[in-house]
Amino acid sequence: MLATLKVNNRNHTIDLSNPLDISIPIRGNASNVNAWYITHPRIEPHTLGDFVGAVSQGAAVNFNDIWFNPHAHGTHTECVGHITEEFHSVNKNLNRYFFYAEVVTIAPEKVNEDFIISKKQLQYAFGNKKRDAIIIRTLPNLRDKFSKQYSKTNPPYITEEAAKFLVDKGVEHLLVDLPSIDRERDGGELRAHRAFWNANGKMRKQATITEFIYVHNSIEDGTYFLNLQVAPFENDASPSRPVLYANIEVSE
């Protein structure tokens, strides 16, 4: 199934039958990816008196309760409400779902005890492109990103200057395969988050940050269309399923 999207007065044809899912699912056990010092998600039959919501235990239907934290347990998209006293819902702030996007691969560089994604690295990888969204794949890119336990590991992060660079380039949607774009322990400064949302000026309420993605090694760096959908929770963050579509034709 083909679809045509128009960007900068050029028609782009994409094949909707060939989606490239870059999300990490939530599993209800300790093998699930995890961060921020909390226990793993739980997906288990609801119980009420003698009722157990599982067909295997005599119920007519499977009827599970799910406990999770969107920031800690899988691919999620967050809005400026993540860092503001005033409530902002990602379900309300994200009101477009298709974006012109660029996939880049970066090996975080070591600075003292940290590994960072710097402005210089993004300048080299992204250049002068004009994109709605950027998808950052970090190296090494191993399958353990589906199950890694990140708490107390000081994962790589994006510098404040790098976040400002993306703002200057007009990027409104930032997607990374890390638990956060900021340092695990930074005293609550959240410099990259604040810079990306312009927290000290006119806040970029339409901008989103998506963390805990996984970009398979078979997906080449380059230009794609991104379909970014969130579960409709009225919350600062929600589980999400970003999906890429490659260009198969470009015409005037």
242, exposed or middle or buried, with CB in 10 Å at 0-12, 13-18, 19+?
Answer: buried
Q: How far apart are CA 176 and CA 209, in angstroms?
A: 8
Residue with tokens 């590991």: 153
Measure the N-to-C terminal CA separation of the chain; round to a whole number of Å: 21
CB atoms within 10 A of CB 246: 17
Q: What is the pLDDT of residue 162?
A: 98
Q: Which CATH class is domain 2-24+69-251?
A: alpha beta
Residue ranges of domains in the chain = 2-24+69-251
180: tokens are 């956060």
Q: What is the pLDDT of residue 83?
A: 97
Q: How far apart are CA 66 and CA 250, in angstroms?
A: 43
Report the 3 state secondary structure along 204-234.
Answer: CCCCEEEECCCCCCCCCCEEEEEEEEECCCC
Q: How far apart are CA 193 and CA 200, in angstroms?
A: 11
Q: What is the pLDDT of residue 209?
A: 98
Q: What are phi and psi of 158, to 5 degrees?
A: -100, 140
Q: Which of 156, 136, 168, 116 is nearest to 35 (CA)?
A: 156
Over the chain (252 residues), the average pLDDT of each successive run of 10 is 79 89 97 98 97 97 98 98 97 95 98 97 95 98 97 98 98 98 97 96 96 98 96 98 87 63
Rounded to two decimals, the pTM is: 0.96
Q: How far apart are CA 223 and CA 96, in angstroms?
A: 19
Residue with tokens 């002068």: 128
Q: What is the pLDDT of residue 171?
A: 98
- In contact, 66 and 231? CB cutoff 8 Å: no
Largest Cα–Cα distance in the chain?
Answer: 65
Q: What is the pLDDT of residue 13?
A: 87
Q: How far apart are CA 89 and CA 82, in angstroms?
A: 9
- In contact, 39 and 27? CB cutoff 8 Å: no
